[in-house]
Chains A and B, each alone.
Chain A
Amino acid sequence: DAGVTQSPTHLIKTRGQHVTLRCSPISGHKSVSWYQQVLGQGPQFIFQYYEKEERGRGNFPDRFSARQFPNYSSELNVNALLLGDSALYLCASSLGGEPTRQYFGPGTRLTVT
């Protein structure tokens, strides 16, 4: 079975631009969570979606938004990029609405110049 997939793998953007990151969960999983991991730090929670509804939001500005589609895949959008948004963006999927056992994707490495 395929694991969690994310695209693109790497991305370079300029300050002020916007970016869309994509995630496909493991087949049968209905929950997707997004995390931001700055180099040398642990992942920080951004959003959780379950059954296409937002169930949780971390302490991130409104420039960050996300959605989940009927096939349970998800997009993370970031507007007006700042240098500080440079990080590894991780998507995790789980069967139910809680992260009892989350499976992480390989991440998207975003560099903002």
Chain B
Amino acid sequence: EDQVTQSPEALRLQEGESSSLNCSYTVSGLRGLFWYRQDPGKGPEFLFTLYSAGEEKEKERLKATLTKKESFLHITAPKPEDSATYLCAVQAVQGAQKLVFGQGTRLTINP
């Protein structure tokens, strides 16, 4: 069974304090790994898709990386507006019509 585990469950940082969120996954064959951002009471907002180990993608203060067993979302010099829940999801080769999500990491950036 495909599984995604995110850590930590919650993270509090000071503005400007860089850190990383972890996403560990077990999947029969990886078709894609996705990162989403979700604000309270809203639907997830797409951030990145990674397809193969060694791939990296960046967007503003966020950088996502992928290995064969895990993905990291690095946040550099975060601002309060980066506060949100960050969700990781995998798309498997078998069952490619669905995404399997982790439980998310709730990130709070204090000014």
Report B-chain residues with C-beta under 8 Å of the C-beta of A97: 97
Q: B97 and A99: CB pair below 8 A? A: yes
* Size range of the chain A interface in the assembly: 20 to 34
User: Which residues from 61 to 109 on chain A have a C-beta closer than 8 Å to any C-beta of chain B?
Assistant: 90, 92, 97-107, 109
Report A-chain residues with C-beta under 8 Å of the C-beta of B97: 33, 48, 50, 55-56, 97-99
User: Which residues from 30 to 61 on chain B have a C-beta closer than 8 Å to any C-beta of chain A?
Assistant: 31-32, 34, 36, 41-46, 49
Q: Give the complex CA separation of A33 and B97 in angstroms.
A: 9
Tally of contact residues, B, Cβ under 8 A:
26
B96 nearest CB across to chain A (Å): 5
Known: A104-B43, A106-B43. A98 touches B100 (CB 8 A): no
Closest chain B residue, CB of each to CB of A50: B97
Q: B98 and A56: CB pair below 8 A? A: yes
Q: A101 and B43: CB pair below 8 A? A: no
Q: A43 and B101: CB pair below 8 A? A: yes
Instruction: Among B42, B44, B49, B100, point to the contact of A100 (Cβ < 8 A).
Output: B49
